[in-house]
Amino acid sequence: MNAMINPDLAQLRQQVEAQAREVAELRGNMQQMDKFVSATNRQSTLQIAAIVISLCLTIAGGLYFQTNAINRNIEQLEKRMERVERNLDELNKELRAQRQAK
């Protein structure tokens, strides 16, 4: 009955209802986008954490390997030095024996 009295008012209500539906649809789309962005941010954060952890493990493994290699080299050098010292001691004994024999 109201529509009969004022047809402009009925048309205006229809337009408001259509706009309200569009606004609700936009809000729903925005919520979906917010959820998607949140999930993407979480995934990116986890990926960065995984990269940092793997880099740390790689660096630690490399340092461990290099340290062991250096320690092995030092041990080999120490063994060689001990051999050289023994050889020098034997030579000194021989030289003393030769001097005493003369």
Q: What is the pLDDT along the chain (102 residues), one digit of tens a residue?
A: 455 667 788 888 899 999 999 999 999 999 999 999 999 999 999 999 999 999 999 999 999 999 999 999 999 999 999 999 999 999 999 999 888 887
pLDDT at 35: 94
Has this prediction a pTM greater than 0.75?
no
pLDDT at 2: 53
Give the residue among 26, 5, 25, 3 at the shortest CA–CA distance from 14: 3
**What DSSP letter does each residue of 79-93 carry, written as one string?**
HHHHHHHHHHHHHHH
Range of the domain at 73: 2-101
Count how many domains the chain has.
1
